[in-house]
Amino acid sequence: MNKNSISRRSFLKLALTMTGGVIVARCTPAQQATPQQPAGSQPQAMPTPTTAMPVQAPASDATYEEWINTVASEEPIEVRFVHWFDPNTPGENNQALLDFATSEWKKRYPNGKINWELVGWGEIDQKTPGFIMANEAVDVSYNWGGATENWCSADLILPLNNRMPKWWVDQRVPDILKPPSNALCSDGRLAMATFGLENQCVVIRKDLLEQAGVDGASMASFQGLLDGLKKISAISGFEKPYGLKLGADWSAMDSINFAWLGNGITFGEFREDGSEKDAWIEAAALIKGLMELSPEACLNWTWAETEQSYCSGQIAAMDHGNWFYSVGKSLDPEGKIVNPDTTTLLPYPYGNANAAKKPFYTFSNTGFYLLKTSSEKNQQAAIDLMAILSNTRTVWLHSDGTNPATTDGSTEERLQVAQDKDIGWWWDAWDNVKKNAENISIRGFVARDEITGAAFPLLISMFRGELTPDQLYERVREVALPLIQAARGG
């Protein structure tokens, strides 16, 4: 998921200049290089075990109610929490969530104070490493799982293994706490207190599928997706029914990543022996087909413009995530398109190199990271706040469409707590996707920023018919292999 709307290329170049480092990115959005350590500072370093660390909990069997009503400290602790929530966005009920979490936390820290620093997606990836470089006293930051591996390797965060309360561990969806979940560092350290699960798939007009006589199940393969969209393109006004996000390099990668995952690889997966070639080119051919079904205007679209185009009826399909529910409610307040009769969800398609031959949806985490600038005095209070924010019933207050990262509680119970009582159909649509599709964790790739930046103009050339998928493969491979070798110390 990428909700960022600005390029980070200049920041990354600056960070690389400062550190002489090599970025090893694993997931969208574009990430930061290792920050330079401020002179004289002595932050706590994360241990680097040779084997994955178990995600265990303290021995206490206290329930949430017992735990929350036990005073942990009467000291005047101040926790500084960097967050992307905007209290002026009522569609996500953010202020209600923050107010609830504050009141709960004060039960454990009655003389404590939370300094909420509300930062947008466009700044959180820059500001968090900046805080570390400046050695500012920041305790917690929020991001999605695309940040995890770079924040781990850049030594920005402290591990949470054996530090979260047992009730919290017991609530988690099991896949969160084991590889390849991007709530974990690559060596198994628990990096994130997961708040929500972001799933992505194809959002498509249900009414137009029916009008075109297309069964959504027939669109489970690469060719099936293209065939179904071509039938929709015969409907007047929808000659270009699909919406790619080709207005920037990062949004373009967000928009096309699923094609390579559908063939079991990533866009940046280039091997010395070239064994990825057929799968890579087939994925590129799918994107070429989608380019031919996308309007010229998509060359100027990132996430916002594509969302607007779908909600205004200009396009019939796009790839998006479960958080689109709140976006759609905002852009289509009368519910003319974002409703159960007009909008539905389809899993991403599979390619010939996909051994399972099953469509899929992607999985990523969003949540909270304990920064290494958090003082020993503050760490437990900060961890407790992270646990409260990601507790089942706290998460339920946040009705943006994102699935909770917890297992306890039924849909009916969740709807009773959710601020938006109309969201049930959206959850049902996601349940239908998951019944017959694989769950694939979003993966990034080595030197993602550099490869993405180099590939972007080539992708635009393919859109304009100046490159074939085979030629795109050769051109990107030529750039990518040396970058991958350098990043791996080769």
Q: What is the pLDDT of residues 207-241, one digit of tens each?
A: 999 999 999 999 999 999 999 999 999 999 999 99
Residue 122 has pLDDT above 70, yes or no: no
Does some domain include residue 150? yes
Model pLDDT, residue 41: 29
| Host domain of residue 407 | 9-197+365-427
Domain count of the fold of the chain = 2
Q: Domain containing 181 — which CATH number?
A: 3.40.190.10
| Domain end call among 396, 427, 458 | 427
Give which of 270, 291, 241, 441 is closest to 360, Cα–Cα: 441
Tokens found for residue 122: 């466009």
Residues 255 and 342 reside in one and the same domain: yes
Model pLDDT, residue 89: 58
Residues 453-461 have a mean pLDDT of 97
Residues 270 and 253 reside in one and the same domain: yes
Residues 149 and 17 reside in one and the same domain: yes
Residue 273 has pLDDT above 80, yes or no: yes
CA neighbours closer than 13 Å in the CB half-sphere of residue 483:
23
Model pLDDT, residue 87: 52
Most confident of 73-82, 142-151, 413-422: 73-82
Contact 96, 397 (CB under 8 A): yes
Q: How high does pLDDT run on average in the chain?
A: 84
Model pLDDT, residue 364: 86
Residues 334 and 450 reside in one and the same domain: yes
Model pLDDT, residue 10: 31
Residue 43 has pLDDT above 90, yes or no: no
Does some domain include residue 96? yes
Model pLDDT, residue 420: 80
Tokens found for residue 22: 């090599």
Model pLDDT, residue 48: 35
Confidence of residue 378 (pLDDT cuts 50, 70, 90): very high
Model pLDDT, residue 150: 78
Tokens found for residue 338: 């974002």
Residue 8 has pLDDT above 70, yes or no: no
Residues 266 and 370 reside in one and the same domain: no
CB burial of 108-140 (b: ≥16 within 10 Å; e: otherwise) equals bbeebebebebbebeebbbbbbbbbbebeebbb
Residues 316 and 387 reside in one and the same domain: no
Confidence of residue 399 (pLDDT cuts 50, 70, 90): low
Residues 159 and 206 reside in one and the same domain: no
Owner of token pair 């991403």: 348
Angle (nearest 5°) at CA 442 between 436 and 444:
150
Model pLDDT, residue 20: 30
| Domain end call among 402, 427, 452 | 427
Residues 391 and 449 reside in one and the same domain: no
- The residue with greater pLDDT, 50 or 440, is 440
Residues 242 and 186 reside in one and the same domain: no
| Domain end call among 376, 396, 427 | 427
Q: Which of 193-197, 399-403, 441-445 has the lowest mean pLDDT?
A: 399-403
Tokens found for residue 235: 């409907």
Q: Which of 141-145, 157-161, 247-251, 461-465 has the lowest mean pLDDT?
A: 141-145
Q: CA-to-CA distance for 398 and 89, rounded, in angstroms?
A: 12
Residues 153-172 have a mean pLDDT of 92
Give which of 283, 150, 245 is closest to 456, Cα–Cα: 245
Contact 80, 138 (CB under 8 A): yes
Q: H/E/C letters for each residue in the chain?
A: CCCCCCCCHHHHHHHHHHHCCCCCCCCCCCCCCCCCCCCCCCCCCCCCCCCCCCCCCCCCCCCHHHHHCCCCCCCCCEEEEEECCCCCCHHHCHHHHHHHHHHHHHHHCCCCEEEEEECCHHHHHHHHHHHHHCCCCCCEEEEEHHHHHHHHHCCCECCCCCCCCHHHHHHECHHHHCCCCCCECCCCCECCEEEEEEEEEEEEEHHHHHHHCCCHHHHCEHHHHHHHHHHHCCCCCCCCCECCCCCCHHHHHHHHHHHHHCCCCCCCCCCCCCCCHHHHHHHHHHHHHHHHCCCHHHHHCCHHHHHHHHHCCCCCEEEEECCHHHHHHHHCCCCCCCCCCCEEEECECECCCCCCCCCEEEEEEEEEEEECCCCHHHHHHHHHHHHHHCCHHHHHCCCCCCEECECCCCHHHHHHHCCCCCCHHHHHHHHHHHHCCEEEECCCCCCHHHHHHHHHHHHHHHHCCCCCHHHHHHHHHHHHHHHHHHHCCC
Residues 391 and 263 reside in one and the same domain: no
Name residue 403's beta-bridge partners. Answer: 197
Give which of 147, 5, 150 is closest to 82, Cα–Cα: 147
Model pLDDT, residue 422: 87
Give which of 102, 90, 128 is closest to 11, Cα–Cα: 128
Residue 183 has pLDDT above 70, yes or no: yes
Residues 193 and 254 reside in one and the same domain: no
Does some domain include residue 103? yes
Model pLDDT, residue 455: 97
Residues 48-57 have a mean pLDDT of 46
